[in-house]
Amino acid sequence: MTSRQTASGALRGREWGVLLVLCGAIFLEGIDVAMLNVALPSIRADLGLSTGSLQWVMSAYVLGYGGFMLLGGRAADLFGRRRMFVGWLAVFLLFSGLGGFATEGWTLIVARFVTGVAAAFMTPAGLSIITTGFEEGPRRDKALLFYAGTSAAGFSIGLVVGGLLTAVDWRWVFFAPVVLSALILVAALAFVPKPPRPGRAGTGTGTGGAGARQSVDLAGGVTVTAAVVLLVLGVERATHTSLAWTAGTIGAGLAFLAAFVAVERRSASPLVRLGIFRSGALVRANLSGLLFSAGFFGFQFLVVLYLQELRDWSTLQTSFAMIVIGIDAVLSPLLTPRLVARFGNARVIFGGLLLAALAYALFLPVGADWTYPAMFPSLIVLGLAFSLAYGPLTIVATEGVKEEEQGLAGGLLYTSFQFGAALGLSTVTAVNVAATTSTSPAALLDGYRAALWVPLAAALLATLVGAFGLRGRRSDGAAVSPGEPVDRGADRGRGQLPVSH
């Protein structure tokens, strides 16, 4: 490849093939979740599910996805990224199909849980294939921003496609991902390269990611998975169970988390090297991502309730109304790379977080008879905010991290996103329920207005965290041991392009 191609971020033919396969997988994950959201009422009516069982259809996926994401990311580093990606994509395909054949609520719940676990192993493996297959710099940034835009497109398109498929039969919401998964699986076997065979010393990286450390930190894996599962479960179910149950679940999760830290400090081959958190840029990206995700999903949930409960809009009308947020699918690969090249990731992220806060603030005075043009500014600004924040957060959370820990970095980021989504949904639901005194339109509106402060608060906190990345050049080398990631967030904030390995 010429120096001009490298500087401009130009990709070669086979690289485009690999990238499109991975983008197809993240698109699949997004469209799968969005379509199911739309289909829930039809599923409930057909299978005769109670409210509690219906909630578990969603909670089971969230539990599997968020609870096993960190373990999935590290597994990609230890056992091979291609192997984890292809193998768990096949599991995703199988259990999505089983969900479509479900005739009992428990069968569907089990299928969704395993599908979530499969996504938890598949997604960080796919991300780490990008971050190890494209050298750090403009080319990796371009690939990651294209990847981020595809993820957003999956969720936005899924809202509409889910409505159309549900109108035919809700089971197609599960069968359609099977077809898409099969196509991606065939393409992955053809395009994603096999890793080089490790030598006698067990070294070997690339898409395999199976480095010199092949030993498995079983105690660390058990404790961290138990911790994250319990924390996600406690947050996800907070509005559906008693306060004592929630406190007990979250308390148990924190206890397992403390045990995990103790295990990792003593482990010769830890599942999560705690030194990775010395990277200020990585910590900021994960915390900002958690808060941004909390506000983003909490806001969308409230808008759906407002349109369908108060305004009596149909599922399809609601989907088409909100698809404008999907403008990020276009802006992420087209506009965001130019802004990153000119201003740096830190400033672009900060701008995206500010725009998210603006979008939520514009919706605060929502009325009982708001026209769509009155809602449109919030929705379009939120789409722009997502395009500026999501992709650059992914770049910052993975740059400067050693190749053998890229899966771990991706797992950390996606765990933050997923936990943030669960936290946001739970919090806005709790505030909405507490502020709604009756089922009258006026009371419903009061509940929405009160809950809308939650996304705004989350966005403002995320903006405050992001502001720390705007500081001028400084060296973190003194705080980082040799071979550990160095915080380059400040340099990127000054508009400099990342240094290629």
> Using one digit for the tens of pLDDT, what is the confidence trace for 457-466?
999 999 999 9
Residue 163 pLDDT grade (very low, low, confident, very high; cuts 50, 70, 90):
confident
Using DSSP's 3-state secondary structure scheme, residue 497 falls into: coil
pTM, two decimals, is 0.82
Q: Decide: 293 and 461 in contact? Cβ < 8 Å.
A: no
- The per-residue DSSP string of 1-26 comes to --HHHHHHT---HHHHHHHHHHHHHH
276, two tokens: 């990775």
pLDDT band at 413; cut points 50, 70, 90: very high
What is the DSSP secondary-structure string of 106-146? HHHHHHHHHHHHHHHHHHHHHHHHHHHHS-TTHHHHHHHHH
Residue 501 has what pLDDT? 29
Residues 466 and 281 sit within 8 Å (Cβ to Cβ): no
d(CA 196, CA 183): 25
pLDDT score, position 207: 53
CA pair distance 293, 419, nearest whole angstrom: 8
Q: pLDDT tens digits, residue range 317-334?
A: 888 888 898 888 888 888
Residue 188: what residue type? A
Query: Cβ of 476: how many Cβ atoms within 10 Å?
Result: 18
CB contact set of 189 (below 8 Å; sequence gap of 6+): 86
Q: What would the two tokens of residue 85 be?
A: 């990606």
Single out the residue of 145, 69, 115, 91 nearest to residue 408, CA to CA.
69
